[in-house]
Amino acid sequence: MAGLSDAQWNDLLAFFDKFIAPNSAEHGKHILIRMFDSDRATQSLFPKFKDAPAADLPKNADVKKHGGVVVDFLGKLLKQKGHNESMLHTMAETHKNKHKVLPDYFQLISSVIDVYVHENLPAEYAPVRDAMNAALKQIANTLKSNYAKV
């Protein structure tokens, strides 16, 4: 359960629902672009925009759409309050076998999410930052352990 109390989960979910979910595609776009900037190899994992120049990514509709998918799925995982093993097992299967994503990239995107949200919503994020990082760590670690099983 990522070591969080019910109150911490509820605060994290309230933050996510109020500040992240309403603009999930826009937030997701920026998160993906930051991930690509920090490790260029990650962009090659996305066939629809793997060859797009970095300067074109902010205007690329596919980047924004997939960013929304990533952030919306994060919201679904958070709503499970750490009881997300089944969802993460399925995600590990597809990301390992179909998309060929290295498990370390989940830690990378977790770090990118934390830095992005901190920079863009510092006051709002501060009270739930530790909870978000605990949840992101649990997600990344569970994915990594599931990679060994699939």
**Residue 128 is assigned to a structural domain of this protein:** yes
Instruction: Please state the rounded mean pLDDT for residues 79-83.
Output: 97
The domain that contains 25 carries what CATH number?
A: 1.10.490.10
pLDDT tens per residue across span 25-74: 999 999 999 999 999 999 999 999 999 999 999 999 999 999 999 999 99
Instruction: Please state the rounded mean pLDDT for residues 2-27.
Output: 96
Band (pLDDT 50/70/90 cuts) for residue 1 is very low
**Residue 51 is assigned to a structural domain of this protein:** yes
**Residue 136 is assigned to a structural domain of this protein:** yes
Cα radius of gyration (the chain): 15
Band (pLDDT 50/70/90 cuts) for residue 2 is low
**Residue 23 is assigned to a structural domain of this protein:** yes
**Residue 76 is assigned to a structural domain of this protein:** yes
Q: Residue 108: which H helix or E strand, with range?
A: helix 104-120
pLDDT tens per residue across span 94-144: 999 999 999 999 999 999 999 999 999 999 999 999 999 999 999 999 999
Burial class (CB in 10 A: 0-12, 13-18, 19+), 89: middle
pTM over 0.85: yes
Band (pLDDT 50/70/90 cuts) for residue 3 is confident
**Residue 1 is assigned to a structural domain of this protein:** no
pLDDT of 14 > 60? The answer is: yes
The C-alpha angle 32, 33, 39, rounded to 5 degrees, equals: 90
Contact 104, 35 (CB under 8 A): no
| Domain coverage including residue 134 | 6-147
Total domains present in the chain: 1
Instruction: Tell which residue, 41, 37, 48, 51, has the closest CA to residue 115.
Output: 37
**Residue 18 is assigned to a structural domain of this protein:** yes
